[in-house]
Amino acid sequence: MREREAQGEMDRRIDEVRRWVGAARRIVALTGAGISTESGIADFRGPQGVWTRDPAAEKQATIQNYLADPEVRIASWRARLDHGAWGARPNAGHAALAELERDGRLHALITQNVDELHQIAGNSAACVIEVHGTIRKAMCWGCGARTPMSQVLERVRAGESDPACRDCGGILKSDTISFGQALVPEVIERALRVAGEADLLLAIGTTLQVYPVAGAVPIAARAGAKIVIVNAEPTAMDEHAHAVLRGRIGEILPALLAG
């Protein structure tokens, strides 16, 4: 009985949010690791997260350690070879957001993820705001040159344990934001600006604990946007939400965004 009542309440909430989505014209989505875990990419701090299972791996994500210690870089390159992004495919949640853009109602997609699954699903590069960068490119810490990550990984497979930049000999890393590394001001400025332009903000698969990006939620709320949070667990911003939906993103998002 309780399960049926809970499901009935969930169905009513989804119907209500679907009406909000239908009336919105400037929808902004903010996505975190939760949408990608359903594609098989482990998060960092969850029960089966990368750092939960291997606390030493967190050291690789600190820029000072990475730049100073060749052994940290060697371990990082080995880990990149086996990163879950290479075999992952977009799930139904990614597909629903791509369809929303094709409908002309997705104003912007802010993502904390570095896997580019949104673009693979069909979202345009112009729409996606990658606040933490992308693992699919490598960048040189010396000259700033960027190359496809696949090319550098081929060098690692061929025996280079710590490949250097072929332009200047500098240290290579993934084009992602590490601990201790500054965020790109223009990217953050754009992310917070579009949040203030939204008439509906969907926060999907994120605990909303990492700033400044988590600030997009109160910014959108102050601008009058409806706030909808879709996440498996409670978030730091639930109090700002007009609706909080718990469950699998790949099931809830298609139901919310269906035309």
Average pLDDT over residues 76-86: 92
pLDDT digits (tens, 9 = 90+) for 206-246: 999 999 999 999 999 999 999 999 998 999 999 989 999 99
- Phi, psi dihedral angles at 27 (to 5 degrees): -85, 130
For this structure, is 240 an active site residue? Answer: no
pLDDT tier for residue 52 given thresholds of 50, 70 and 90: very low
| pLDDT above 90 for 59 | no
Asked if 251 and 9 count as a contact pair (C-beta separation under 8 A), the reply is: no
* pLDDT at site 1: 54
Its CATH architecture, for the domain 44-87+136-176, is 2-Layer Sandwich (3.30)
**Which residue among 83, 118, 132, 240 is the active-site one?**
132
Domain ranges of the chain: 16-41+89-132+182-259, 44-87+136-176
Its CATH architecture, for the domain 16-41+89-132+182-259, is 3-Layer(aba) Sandwich (3.40)
Asked if 205 and 32 count as a contact pair (C-beta separation under 8 A), the reply is: yes
Alpha-helical runs (H) found in 61-124: 63-68, 70-81, 92-102, 117-121
Structure tokens belonging to residue 15: 């119907």
**Average pLDDT in the chain:** 90
Average pLDDT over residues 87-100: 96
Q: Are strands 226-230 and 243-245 parallel, antiparallel or unpaired?
A: parallel
Average pLDDT over residues 112-116: 96
44-48, 60-64, 76-80, 161-165: least confident range: 44-48
* pLDDT at site 106: 97
* pLDDT at site 44: 53
* pLDDT at site 122: 97
Among 2-6, 99-103, 255-259, top mean pLDDT goes to 99-103
| pLDDT above 70 for 248 | yes
pLDDT digits (tens, 9 = 90+) for 24-46: 999 999 999 999 999 999 865 55
Instruction: Measure the CA–CA gap between 21 and 221, rounded to whole angstroms.
Output: 16
For residue 218, whether the previous peptide bond is cis, meaning omega lies within 30 degrees of 0, is no
* pLDDT at site 43: 65
| pLDDT above 90 for 179 | no
Structure tokens belonging to residue 137: 């490119």
